[in-house]
Structure 1
Amino acid sequence: MTTLDTRSTRGPARRAELLDELVALVLAEGFAAFTLDELARRLRCSKSTLYGLAASKEQLVVAVVKRFFQRATAAVEQRAAVPDDHRERISAYLLAVSEQLQPASPAFFADVAAFAPAREIYERNTRSAAARVQQFVADGLAAGTIRPVHASFVGAAVASVMGAIHRGEITAVTGLDDAAAYRELADLVVAGTAPR
């Protein structure tokens, strides 16, 4: 009985650990060039262990990208919950997005852009992040802590810039990586909503 209990809790824990190792590997090196054999070798596990996580490489990539964004979202929300001031909350949120994206390599972003299921996960997270910034602006307007601005416009502008960051357009024009671009966006939104 005790052995079974240990195994049943160790299985999910090991799967979570493997997913976390995969996240770190994929963020550093991307995923397109890897085969399942190479991933198993790098993680020192069997291919059947990887098949326990997902039925194919494509499904494994989706699981890994989802895990990355789930963990990133939780960390970002935790950081944004700390400040009381709405402008500080916007800044904390966007800077936390920047920090979460910092470990992601150009290879990761290129592979995400080229693989539709992963790209959709990134796009969905980008839309959610823009909606959160819009909500912070609306809350600040209601509380009178930011200058009168059009919250929907700010949300749409943030979404547009985030989309351009995601598509690599900001990097192409400015040379900024995604994390640096989010830091610049945070500064821009916070300055733009400062009380006069």
Structure 2
Amino acid sequence: KKKAKITAEKLFNILDIPKDTWKKRVKKMSGGEKKRLSMAIGLIHHPQVLFLDEPTTGVDASKRYDILSYLKKLNQQLNTTMFIITHDLEAALICDKSAILREGKLLEFDTPENLINSLPSNGLVARISIKNLNQEIIKTIHKYPSIEKVLRVGNETIEVLMEDFEDNLPKLMKFLFENNLKVYSMSRDVANFRRYFQIRIQEEEEKENRKNNSELMNGGDSQ
């Protein structure tokens, strides 16, 4: 019993659970306190592996990063391997490796950094705001050679991924002006994991659409 108490206090300290809440009834705890308590319970017996299902669900946006930070701290201080199942893409910030699943199919498995670097030009993107942006304008931009992806990320804003980014960026801007597109801002950035995920899922959807269209053209699957 004494050993369990010492272990519990150690976990509570790592998780920043203040002493005045140690004897609080669970039903009176906040969402964040309940999440941290569930982590402590899961780790009380020093498991080598811990599975966490949606650990940030039901927590205020301002507390989500705190929960992820606690998980990383527990991983480092207790040497516990953690599997995090989540739709919260910010969790990739603390993971050594990330797997992307879609409808039970494994699409990718690697470090978040390697996945982002697999994008054209290691994930460099041009963020461009264009007046009266519409699908016709996006189709025009796609005509520029070396363009790999054009993602609409705002009402009048796109992110462009292309090969040989440094060489092609000034040429792309010239192309936009020559096509009378009214560009009112341009900045460069590196794609984050959320953007990588969006691109990868979009690719999978496009592949499925092509397959479905091909089957329709051929009269459906053969019996």
TM-score with structure 2 setting the length: 0.29
Q: Which has the larger radius of gyration?
A: 2
Higher strand share: 2
Structure with greater contact order relative to length (CA < 8 Å, sep ≥ 6): 1
More helix by share: 1
Q: TM-score with structure 1 length normalisation?
A: 0.32
